[in-house]
Copies of this chain bind each other. A is one copy, B any other.
Amino acid sequence: MKLLRDRILKDGKCYPGGILKVDKFINHQMDPNLMKACAVELIRRFASTEVNKILTIEASGIAPAIMMGFLLDLPVVFAKKKKPSTMDDMLSTRVFSFTKQREYHVVISKEYLTPKDKVIFIDDFLAYGNAAKGIIDLCHQSGAEIVGMGFIIEKAFQRGREVIEKQGIRVESLAIVDSLDNCQIKLRNE
């Protein structure tokens, strides 16, 4: 996706430890037109699938997910990163955040993820695949089917794709970063 690749090279910033900061257009300040363009491209890639719900995780997944849900006229559910005081009947799993070096809980109400659901999971980044693994666990617990997982940016060198594909789940990423060595962003040509 050229628009996205160009933007990453223009506005993305590298930090030591394989961190790519895209705070200017995805993670803090968001470019709504780019989010919509990402949603369109994800819809195109998953065009042949049958889906009744978009699933994401707070906070940076919400923007592309809501755009996708809007364009497809589907509800969007966002998994929460801790137990809210008013959520009774929920599915819960633990996710290890490599960036933050700590574990957190991810929860979804049983009401909004059921055996009837065929979902596409959307997130901003695919890194080690830990959040995705948590989502897969929640979907297994609920009986929902995961049709595929779509990411705006995949850091291929952190190998999260293998974690997901090993479970037989299709992965689509709109930009693939092959390396951030020496704080240089190397994007895969596609």
> Using a CB–CB distance below 8 Å, which chain A residues touch chain B?
15, 19, 21, 23-24, 28-33, 35-36, 58-59, 62-63, 66-67, 69-70, 73-78, 80, 85-87, 99-100, 108-109, 111-112
Contact = CB atoms under 8 A, between A and B. Distances in A.
Most buried by B among A15, A21, A32, A35: A32
How many subunits of this chain does the assembly comprise?
A: 2
Given A86-B15, A99-B85, A32 B69 contact: yes
- Prevailing SS type, chain A contact patch: mixed
A35 B78 contact: no
B30 A75 contact: yes
B35 A66 contact: yes
Contact of A19 (B28, B30, B86): B86
